[in-house]
Amino acid sequence: DAKTTQPNSMESNEEEPVHLPCNHSTISGTDYIHWYRQLPSQGPEYVIHGLTSNVNNRMASLAIAEDRKSSTLILHRATLRDAAVYYCILRGSGSSGDKLTFGTGTRLAVRP
């Protein structure tokens, strides 16, 4: 499986933007970059995904480097409800099949 590297933890102030980085230097051409988050005592929740171009949805934006070896999840205005563990996961059609391989993610704390 192509691996991702994320900081263990980050902090943000409420109502400020948050940039969560992810490195994936061994990404293959067919791998999509997916982001999930897990709020305390809940199941993982899909946030956003992309292949090459930057993506926006109602939850977040995803900025993908031109060489695709890194990406950044952007929360435009952090709220207390955004405190969670954020996972950057590569999902492709290679030998790893369809499963998601979760790492340890980035634990985001949001200060009021």
Site residues (CB under 8 A) for another protein? 30-32, 34, 36, 38, 42-46, 49, 51, 87, 91-93, 97-104
Question: Do 28 and 70 contact (CB within 8 A), yes or no?
Answer: no
Residues counted in the chain: 112
In the complex, what is the shortest distance from the CB of residue 35 to another protein, in angstroms, rounded to a whole number?
9
Q: Which residue, 32 or 61, has its beta carbon nearer to another protein?
A: 32
CA angle 28–61–73, rounded 5-degree value: 60
Q: Which residue, 78 or 90, has its beta carbon nearer to another protein?
A: 90
Tokens of 68: 């695709």
